[in-house]
Amino acid sequence: MLEKVDLTKKLSRADYEARLPGLQRRLRALQGACADHKVTALVVFEGWDGSGTNGAIHALTNGLDPRRFRLHTTQAAQGAEEDYPWLRRFWLNTPAYGEMAIFDRSWYRRVLIERVEGLASEMAWRKAYRDINEFEQSLADDGVTIVKFWFHLSQGKQKRRAKKRRQDSAEGGLAHPDGWKHHKKYNEYLVAVEEMLERTDSKWGRWTLVPATSRWYARNLVLETVAARLEARLGDNRPTPEGADDSIADDIRKAMEAAESIL
């Protein structure tokens, strides 16, 4: 399924920066309407190391009211977290009515990193698919709008980015400590990602596959996708977009449909 993602999709930085202020104003207005009408959203970011999820999260959150969203960065369970059912820590971070929760990595860690790195037994990660689907369905049944992104890169592009981050780290920069290790297992992760997408794409929790070769295209697609999903959920309560560009909206709508049609 991932081989069908068009990784040649691009957007220039100039075009992205021209669109960004309007998109952020649109999202801020939608955030206010969601608070007024108790519309709750949960946004999940998953993807290859170096695929640009951090930049997209920053672009999304930079224009939002910080009082109405929470950003959660998921690491391995630690300490007392290991003494409870594995999804408990995520339940505790689900958003209040009218707010948004954004997950930089998430419960999908179990069927990706923990699976490939041997940190969870096969029985545990196979059971996790059922747990995840039931978790997300429970949230959706309670009215939560779930938006899930997978940032996809080719093996060659992921290798180049991992190598650059490794070099930057050696020069005093910051890099994910496991980025190079994960790249060396690209094919193993690819199998895990494909199964994850196949088994957890649902009518209440659709995956949007993000071509991440162009960071600007990826960020723009994320912002437009979140805005479109919130507008759809708000229905007649959605705010009128100020200075909306119909041609851009149509382009993004087609991109979203193309991403979802792959699944």
- Is the pLDDT at 9 greater than 80? The verdict is yes
DSSP line for 111-176 = TTHHHHTT-S-HHHHHHHHHHHHHHHHHHHHTTEEEEEEEEE--HHHHHHHHHHHHHHHHTT----
Per-residue pLDDT tens for 113-144? 999 999 999 999 999 999 999 999 999 999 99
- β-bridge partners, 44: 103, 148
What angle, rounded to 10 degrees, do the helices at 215-234 and 53-62 form? 50
What angle, rounded to 10 degrees, do the helices at 186-200 and 122-141 form? 40
Q: Give dist(CA 15, CA 17) in Å, integer.
A: 6
Total domain count for the chain? 1
Which amino acid is present at 172? G
Question: Which stretch of 64-73, 141-150, 167-176 has the lowest confidence by average pLDDT?
Answer: 167-176
Per-residue pLDDT tens for 222-249? 999 999 999 999 999 999 765 444 444 5
Q: What is the pLDDT of residue 63?
A: 92
The per-type count for the chain, helices as H runs and strands as E runs, is: 10, 5
Mean pLDDT of the chain: 89
Give the CATH number of the domain where residue 8 resides: 3.40.50.300
- Is the pLDDT at 255 greater than 90? The verdict is no
User: How many other β-carbons are positioned within 10 Å of the β-carbon of residue 237?
Assistant: 12
DSSP line for 71-87 = EEE-----GGGGGS-TT
- β-bridge partners, 42: 101, 146
The mean per-residue pLDDT over the stretch 167-182 comes to 55
Question: Tokens 């948004």 identify what position?
Answer: 100
Which has the closest alpha carbon to 213: 102, 103, 54, 48? 48
Domain range enclosing 33? 2-261
